[in-house]
Amino acid sequence: MKTFNQSWLASYFIAGTQDVADNQLLPTLERALKSGISCFQFREKNPLNPLTRIQKKTLAIECQRLCTKYQVPFFIDDDLPLALEIQADGIHVGQNDQKIQNVIDQSAGQLLIGFSCQTPEKIKQANQLSGIAYIGSGPVFPTKSKSDATAPLGIAGLNQLLSISQLPIVAIGGISENNLAELATTTVSGVAVISLIAKSPNIEQTVQSINHYFKLEDN
């Protein structure tokens, strides 16, 4: 059984080819790793130029190798067969993805599991499940990174989920350098970001800003 460290959630970078310029995912990821991100999730959802299964696997392995080089955990979004095949550290599952209990059963302790929960009801359900490492909650603020994003929680909504959850929560959605300080007033373990890092003109400075508010400490 793999061991989860809550500090991994501090500066959690999520990206795929749809989030960067052509052929820039690996260079962008390496800059982020050098700058001190705490975790990376490979989320490949490119509607304009979808990868073949082989291309996706090849790119995932290249991302994984970079993460291993910098000793940063590597998660895969919503692709259990791929995560198991290449022995990723974990998988993240959304509410509209495959059933979470199936993922728990099929991973059989080989993968750490993150689960998206946006409502108190979903948090309460997650509390009853054995095998989830952390919760992803959002969008906290309006976001353009996900076309199917639900209405923003706001800080008040996020605090409500935090008060209920028995698992660490990473905040996601619409996060910018302007609202990091506000998020740091809550008990979230960190922030999961896509465009904040992927589109940053200075990735090192951006990651340092995140880590300033969500100190990386062993738990």
Query: DSSP letter string over the chain?
Result: -PPP-GGGGTEEEEE-GGGSSTT-HHHHHHHHHHHT-SEEEE----SSSPPPHHHHHHHHHHHHHHHHHTT--EEEES-HHHHHHTT-SEEEE-TTSS-HHHHHHHHTTSSEEEEE--SHHHHHHHHT-SS--EEEE--SS--SS-TT-----HHHHHHHHHHH-SS-EEEESS--TTTHHHHTTS---EEEESHHHHT-S-HHHHHHHHHHHS-----
105: Cα within 13 Å, side-chain hemisphere: 5
Question: Which domains are delineated in the chain?
Answer: 6-213 (3.20.20.70)
Q: What is the model's pLDDT at position 1?
A: 60
Cα 136 to its chain centre, rounded Å, is 7
Which tokens go with 155?
């800080």
Listed residue (153, 141, 146) closest to 117, CA to CA: 153
Q: What is the model's pLDDT at position 167?
A: 98
Q: What is the model's pLDDT at position 95?
A: 85
- Integer Cα distance of 210 and 143 in angstroms: 18
214: Cα within 13 Å, side-chain hemisphere: 30
Q: Do residues 74 and 40 touch, judged by C-beta distance below 8 A? A: yes
Q: What is the model's pLDDT at position 143?
A: 78
Per-residue pLDDT of the chain (219 residues; tens, 9 = 90+): 689 999 999 999 999 999 999 999 999 999 999 999 999 999 999 998 999 999 999 999 999 999 999 999 999 999 999 999 999 999 999 987 679 999 999 998 899 999 999 999 999 999 999 999 999 999 999 977 656 667 899 999 999 999 999 999 999 999 999 999 999 999 999 999 999 999 999 999 999 999 999 976 443
142-176 pLDDT, tens digit each: 977 656 667 899 999 999 999 999 999 999 999 99
127-139 pLDDT, tens digit each: 999 999 999 999 9
Task: Tell me the one-letter amino acid at 57.
Answer: K
**pTM score, whole prediction:** 0.94
- Integer Cα distance of 8 and 134 in angstroms: 10
